[in-house]
């Protein structure tokens, strides 16, 4: 009860979702194998965590693999296999138990229960479990009968699964197809009449059509919006900073300076690189600041300027060197090192604020296909953290050097990253977290990790 009271007390919200301190939510996946449930679960979890909603996936298949060390074949999933049925039920229970612990003890806000959940009976058990504890339930059902999509799915994620490690491709494919058949006979999709009181979204044919029923609250509304914007069409996202700027050379942060001579060279190199990649229908985005615009100009293509992509606002520290910050604001400088993600510059922003303002950019990146984003160090760290699932403590220290393009290509459940340094020298602007973050430290300790500059 005390925990409930804590939840209901006044909430401060810098996260992208107003923290109404509501009851936790269980998202329940529904669908035959190879319908993208785990893909959706992981992606949704990554997104929710990035916008500041503590979320975790509970994959029942994982519990099964831990309970039954070796997977033999599809026979395990036959509906008349009583022994297996018992194990599978126990795994589901164990997972639900962990969901409860996640909410009660680990301050989780959303749990994604990733399993087939294809029978009404199984879904009723979960519903009861949730109602008893005051959790909200939101179902996400993926329906797809396109054999090409299912085959591609199996290739991308099933062959690499621990279940099929010692099988050759044909064997694995055959076995998996039989596995799917085991579920088909008893599959009861969510019914628009019988289940009209439930809250759910049905995704048809990888997002060509959706049915949304009884959205209860803000977080469910955001989840629906997100799910309706993602797609699986192959594409790549290119992230790069502007070319080296005049203020970069001087070791000064922020500001709105133009490119240095080397920065201009980089713009040219970027143009060549992009041409060499032969990208179809590339969209180019920049911020409203001179240095990204100058970089984009050299590409000779249309680009779109987003104010939301502007560099983090350093407030009173704008255009100062780290040495000057240490001299004028030693305490602030130390506090920033103590919690770089949440620390807000006086009259400026924090990384946390940055994530909030970048959310529409991420949403639009999800909708788009091939995009090149020319932005800034802190901004690029935030975007990268979203794609690579990096948490608040790692995010502000991700390496995003000048004159380097990161090419992100979604693959399986994650993102492949290729790094291209375009061979134009530039200053280093990456300041590691110093050992001593105490407010009483001396200037040398504070400035130990400051990179060189003029």
Q: How many residues appear in the chain? A: 454
Determine whether 311 is an active site residue: yes
Query: Within positions 279 to 308, which residues make up the interface with another protein, using CB under 8 A?
Result: 288, 302-308
Cβ of residue 413: shortest distance to another protein, in angstroms?
A: 24
> Cα(292)–Cα(453) distance, rounded to whole angstroms?
21
Residue 254 · residue 317 · CB < 8 Å: yes
Cβ of residue 11: shortest distance to another protein, in angstroms?
A: 6
**Site for another protein contains 409 (CB under 8 A):** no
Cβ neighbours, 10 Å, residue 355: 25
- Stretch in the footprint of another protein (CB under 8 A) among 122-130, 148-156, 207-215, 238-246: 207-215
Can you state the angle between helices 37-50 and 377-388, rounded to 10 degrees?
150
Determine whether 327 is an active site residue: no
Applying CB under 8 A, among 225, 272, 338, 419 the residue interacting with another protein is: 225
The answer to whether the Cα torsion of 79, 82, 84, 90 is positive or negative is positive
User: Order of strands, edge to edge, in the sheet holding 404-411?
Assistant: 304-305, 283-286, 371-375, 237-241, 404-411, 414-421
Size of the site for another protein (CB under 8 A): 42
* Residue 400, Ramachandran bin (φ over 0: left; ψ between -120 and 50: alpha; else beta): beta
Q: Dihedrals φ, ψ of 82, to 5°?
A: -65, -45
Q: Which lies closer to another protein via its Cβ, residue 201 or residue 239? A: 201
Cβ neighbours, 10 Å, residue 192: 11
Residue 241 assigned as binding residue? yes
- Bridge partners, 410 (sequence order): 415
- Stretch in the footprint of another protein (CB under 8 A) among 77-85, 213-221, 326-334, 378-386: 213-221
Residue 247 assigned as binding residue? yes
> Cα(341)–Cα(338) distance, rounded to whole angstroms?
9
**Site for another protein contains 215 (CB under 8 A):** yes
Query: Within positions 346 to 375, which residues make up the interface with another protein, using CB under 8 A?
Result: 347, 353, 356-357, 364, 367
**Site for another protein contains 3 (CB under 8 A):** no
Q: Which residues bind another protein (CB under 8 A)?
A: 8-14, 18-20, 192, 196, 208-215, 217-218, 221, 224-225, 228-229, 288, 302-308, 318, 347, 353, 356-357, 364, 367
């Amino acid at each position: 009860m005390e925990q409930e009271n804590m939840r209901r007390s006044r909430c401060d919200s810098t996260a992208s979702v107003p923290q109404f301190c509501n009851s936790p939510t269980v998202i329940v996946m529904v669908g035959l194998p190879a319908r993208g449930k785990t893909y959706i679960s992981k992606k949704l979890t990554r997104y929710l965590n990035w916008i500041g909603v503590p979320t975790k996936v509970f994959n029942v298949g994982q519990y099964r693999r831990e309970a039954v060390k070796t997977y033999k074949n599809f026979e395990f999933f036959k509906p008349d296999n009583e022994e297996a049925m018992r194990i599978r039920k126990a795994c589901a229970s164990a997972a639900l138990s962990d969901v409860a612990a996640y909410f009660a003890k680990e301050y989780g806000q959303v749990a994604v229960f990733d399993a087939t959940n294809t029978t009404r009976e199984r879904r009723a058990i979960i519903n009861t479990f949730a109602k008893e504890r005051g959790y909200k339930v939101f179902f996400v059902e993926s329906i797809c009968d396109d054999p090409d999509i299912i085959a591609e799915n199996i290739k991308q994620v099933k062959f690499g699964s621990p279940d099929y490690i010692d099988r050759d491709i044909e064997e694995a494919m055959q076995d998996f197809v039989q596995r799917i058949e085991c579920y088909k006979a008893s599959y009861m999709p969510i019914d628009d009449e019988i289940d009209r009181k439930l809250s759910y979204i049905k995704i048809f044919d990888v997002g060509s059509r959706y049915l949304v029923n009884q959205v209860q609250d803000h977080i469910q509304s955001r989840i629906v919006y997100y799910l309706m914007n993602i797609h699986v069409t192959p594409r790549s996202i290119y992230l790069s900073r502007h070319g080296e700027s005049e203020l970069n050379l001087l070791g000064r942060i922020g500001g709105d300076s133009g490119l240095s001579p080397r920065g201009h060279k980089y713009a040219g190199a970027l143009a060549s690189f992009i041409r060499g990649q032969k990208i179809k229908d590339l969209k180019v985005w920049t911020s409203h600041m001179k240095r990204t615009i100058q970089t984009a100009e050299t590409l000779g293509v249309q680009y779109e300027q987003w104010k939301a992509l502007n560099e983090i606002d350093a407030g009173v520290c704008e255009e100062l060197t780290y040495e000057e910050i240490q001299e004028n604001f030693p305490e602030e400088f130390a506090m920033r090192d103590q919690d770089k993600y949440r620390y807000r510059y006086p009259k400026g922003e924090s990384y946390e604020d940055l994530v909030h303002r970048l959310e529409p950019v991420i949403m639009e990146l999800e909708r788009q296909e091939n995009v090149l984003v020319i932005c800034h160090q802190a901004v690029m760290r935030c975007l990268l953290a979203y794609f690579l699932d990096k948490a608040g403590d790692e995010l502000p220290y991700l390496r995003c050097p000048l004159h380097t393009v990161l090419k992100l290509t979604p693959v399986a459940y994650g993102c492949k990253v290729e790094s291209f340094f375009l061979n134009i020298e530039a200053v280093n602007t990456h300041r590691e977290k110093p050992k001593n973050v105490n407010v009483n430290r001396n200037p040398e300790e504070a400035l130990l990790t400051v990179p060189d500059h003029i």
